[in-house]
């Protein structure tokens, strides 16, 4: 018996949880099928490509190395963390304001494109 079924038995206080468990499995599979529909494709593409390009451009490595370089330069640990946090904050804000029009347009297009 799987852990999930045992947990359901303990929470519900009944022995027959197979029907409810099967309903959950079917709903989970349906949600994956819904995610792959055409109307969600732009959102899914952006959700995959943004982290991909962050790794491809090396920005994560630059931010990691920035902290280490500041430590090597004999700056105090908390100052190094504050500078790295500031760089991360500026990075997030700049990404938000630069990608917001693209994401809003994608949402608008996909919203009105529904058939």
User: C-alpha 10: how far from its chain's center?
Assistant: 32
Cβ-proximal residues to 59 (8 Å cutoff; 6+ apart), any chain: 91
Higher pLDDT, 109 or 67: 67
The H-or-E segment that residue 50 falls in is: helix 41-57
Phi-psi region of 66 (alpha: psi -120 to 50; beta: other; left: phi over 0): alpha
Kindly report which listed range (2-6, 7-11, 65-69, 93-97) carries the lowest average pLDDT score: 65-69
Phi-psi region of 58 (alpha: psi -120 to 50; beta: other; left: phi over 0): left
**pTM: predicted TM-score of the whole model, two decimal places:** 0.40
Residue 41: count of CB within 10 angstroms of its CB: 13
Q: What is the mean pLDDT of the chain?
A: 77
């Amino acid at each position: 018996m799987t852990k999930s079924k045992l947990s359901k038995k303990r929470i519900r206080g009944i022995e027959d949880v197979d029907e409810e468990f099967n309903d959950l499995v079917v709903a989970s599979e349906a949600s994956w099928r819904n995610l792959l529909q055409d109307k969600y494709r732009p959102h899914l593409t952006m959700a995959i490509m943004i982290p991909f390009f962050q790794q491809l451009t090396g920005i994560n490595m630059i931010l990691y190395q920035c902290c280490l370089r500041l430590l090597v330069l004999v700056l105090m640990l908390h100052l190094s963390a504050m500078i790295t946090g500031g760089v991360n904050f500026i990075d997030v804000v700049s990404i938000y304001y630069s990608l917001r029009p693209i994401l809003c347009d994608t949402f608008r297009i996909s919203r009105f494109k529904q058939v």
